Structure 1
Amino acid sequence: MFGLIGHLTNLQHAQSVARELGYPEYADQGLDFWCSAPPQIVDHITVTSITGQKIEGRYVESCFVPEMLATGRGKTAVRKVLNAMAHAQKHGINISALGGFSSIIFEEFNLHESKQVRNIKLEFERFTTGNTHTAYIICRQVEQVSKKLGIELNKATVAVCGATGDIGSAVCRWLDARTDVAELLLIARKQERLQALQAELGRGKIMDLEEALPQADIVVWVASMPKGVEIDPTVLKKPCLLIDGGYPKNMATNIQHPGVYVVNGGIVEHSLDIDWRIMKIVNLMDVPGRQLFACFAESMLLEFEKRYTNFSWGRNQITVEKMELIGEASVKHGFRPLLSY
């Protein structure tokens, strides 16, 4: 059995979804209540592969909302993720994906050091961040959508914003090793990590955002949008492909300009309908019966393949070979990158 450990985009969204799911005691409560609310299994899921194989899963709502981080409640956020992991393990889920901020919290707060949650000793091989599949899907979106737009990678400049993160560094490795992209622009906050990545790749120009954007034919955004930072579409090349790999995804709404094409990065579409309620209720996908985050799909793929291991784990551990491996499983079972813009 696979698990999806998720959360909603904000408190208002969480209240709305709680009402739809039949949790009225959650729906009318404020942030303090949500800080103390326990995790819940709120959906039973069936996924069918194009091979005919069927698997069962559970959606675990962590009851985390991003306002907890915004109001300085880091310890609460940590507790939410750990409690959700323990809840999944307690219910016999073999492999669970940490979705959205859950994986970020796990890495930033070093939760791998927190092995005990009350009477449960966490078995980390039961959990995956899903970042390997997300990175693979983003790279395939770059390759396939650029071709549709007539952007030739062997002549293109690709800017990766968030280049030193787990997903960003993996994207850089793939573009360097598996494409003939002409130029890589590396953007991140910490110069030491940027220099290490540049040395590893043996290429790439370290730039700040304002300098890089006007030069880029393709922008891969896999970083948190700093408060007050906005992308001015008038400075971008035309055409420009912008892959929005952040969460929540809002660039398609905020950036509407002729010649700028925004793709929701790290989203896959399954070939067959998925039997679940949660994606239809949370209203985050255009086709909720088939579309989902690639990180969630990673736990499904690991269940299909019976690979019960923390496939994606830690920072900057994603290799091109692992991306190819999860990519082969993705194609085998009927998942494909979302290519619409």
Structure 2
Amino acid sequence: MFGLIGHLTSLEHAQSVALELGYPEYADQGLDFWCSAPPQIVDNITVTSITGQKIEGRYVESCFLPEMLATRRIKAATRKILNAMAHAQKHGIDITALGGFSSIIFENFNLEQLRQVRNTTLEFTRFTTGNTHTAYIICQQVEQASKQVGINLSEATVAVCGATGDIGSAVCRWLDAKTDVKELLLIARNQERLEHLQAELGRGKIMGLEQALPEADIIVWVASMPKGVEIDPATLKQPCLLIDGGYPKNMATKIQQSGVYVLNGGIVEHSLDIDWKIMKIVNMEIPGRQLFACFAESMLLEFEKLHTNFSWGRNQITVEKMSRIGQLSLKHGFRPLLVS
């Protein structure tokens, strides 16, 4: 059995979803209540591969909300993720993906050191961040969507915002090794990590955000948007492909400019309908078939009975592992979301 650990995008969103899911006692509660609310299994899932194989899964709502980080309720946020992992493990789930902020919180706050959650000792081989599949899908979106909008990769400049993160660095490795992209622009906050990545790749220009974006034919955004920073679409090239790999996805509503194509990054479509309700709740456009690639990674591992932490640790994603999960993705009927 596979599992998905997720969370909602805001307190307001959580309150409305609680009512829809049949938890009216949660619907009118404030942030303090959500800080103490326990994880819940709120969806049972059946997925059918194009091979005919069927698997069962569970969606675990962690009750984490982004406002917990914004209001410095760090202990509450970390407790949410650990409790959700323990909840999944206690329910016998073999491989669970950490979705949204879950994997970021786990890595940034070194939660691997906190293996004991009350009477449960976490077995980390039961969990995956899903980042390898996410990185692979984003790279496929770069390669395939660029053709859709008339951008030739061999003549293109690709800016990766968040280049030193787990997904960003993997995207850079793939684009360097597997494509003929003309130029890579590396954007991140940590100069030392940028220089290390540049040395690893043997290429790439380290640039600031304001300088890089007007030069880019393709922008891969896999970083959090700094406070007070906005992208002026008038400064972007035309055509420009902007792949929004963040969560929640909101660039399509903020950037509306002729010739600028905003694509929700790290989203896959399945060839067959999935029996679940959770993607409707997170406002996926085609909720029966579209989902986050990180979630799909746990499904792929369950299809193949690879019950192991396929994606784990910062900057451990290799091109070889991306190729492997990509082959499994195609085998079982997943494809990247492209420009409609």
What TM-score bracket applies, with the shorter chain setting the length? over 0.9
Aligned residues: 340
Segments of structure 2 that go 5 or more residues without pairing to the other structure are none
Match of 2:329 in 1: 330
TM-score by length of 1: 0.99
Task: Name the amino acid aligned to 1:44.
Answer: N
Match of 1:164 in 2: 164
Per the alignment, residue 318 of structure 1 pairs with: 317
CA distance in 2, matches of 1:279, 1:211: 37
Aligned residues: CA RMSD:
0.5
In structure 1, the residue matched to 2:117 is 117
Q: CA deviation at 1:279?
A: 1.3
Following the alignment from structure 1 to structure 2, what is the Cα–Cα distance between the partners of residues 282 and 191?
35
Alignment partner, residue 154 of structure 2 = 154
| In 2, Cα distance between equivalents of 1:168 and 1:237 | 22
Tell me the residue number matched to 1:213.
213
Q: Report the equivalent of 2:67.
A: 67
SS at match of 2:60: strand
Answering whether residue 91 of structure 2 is matched by residue 98 of structure 1, we say no
Aligned to 1:37: 37
Superposed counterparts of 1:248-259, under 5 Å = 248-259=248-259
Q: Does the 8 Å contact 2:148/2:339 carry over to 1?
A: no
Measured after TM superposition, the shift of residue 278 of structure 1 is 1.3
Q: What is the CA–CA distance in structure 2 between the aligned matches of 1:269 and 1:228, rounded to whole Å?
A: 33
Partners of 2:72 and 2:281 lie apart in 1 by: 29
Aligned to 2:301: 302
Q: Specify the code of the residue in structure 2 equivalent to 1:109.
A: F
Distance 1:258 1:252 in 2: 12
Deviation at 1:282, TM superposition (A): 2.8
For 1:245 and 1:209, the matched residues in 2 are separated by 16
Whichever residue aligns with residue 134 of structure 2, its letter is: T
Shift of 1:149: 1.3
Following superposition of structure 1 onto structure 2, how do residues 191-270 of structure 1 map, counting pairs within 5 Å? 191-270=191-270
Gaps of 5+ in 1: none
TM-aligned CA deviation for residue 340 of structure 1: 2.3
Alignment partners' CA distance in 1, 2:176 and 2:335: 22
User: CA shift at 1:277, angstroms?
Assistant: 1.3
Q: Which residue of 1 aligns with 2:20?
A: 20
Q: TM-score if structure 2 supplies the norm length? A: 0.99
1:83-140 Cα deviation digits (max 9, x unpaired): 0000000000000000000000000001111110000000000000000000000000
Whole-angstrom distance in 2 between the partners of 1:266 and 1:286: 14
Q: Give the structure 2 partner of residue 275 of structure 1.
A: 275
What is the rounded CA distance, in whole Å, between the counterparts of 1:282 and 1:143 in structure 2? Answer: 27
What is the CA–CA distance in structure 2 between the aligned matches of 1:25 and 1:118, rounded to whole Å? 26
Partner in structure 2 of residue 145 of structure 1: 145
1:281 deviates by 2.6
Give the ranges of 4+ consecutive aligned residues of structure 1 lying more than 6 Å apart after TM superposition: none
Q: How far apart, in 2, do the equivalents of 1:187 and 1:267 lie?
A: 22
Q: Amino acid of the residue matched to residue 319 of structure 1?
A: T
Residue 84 (1) aligns with residue 84 (2): yes
Distance in 1, Cα, partners of 2:339 & 2:62: 30
Identity of aligned residues (%): 84
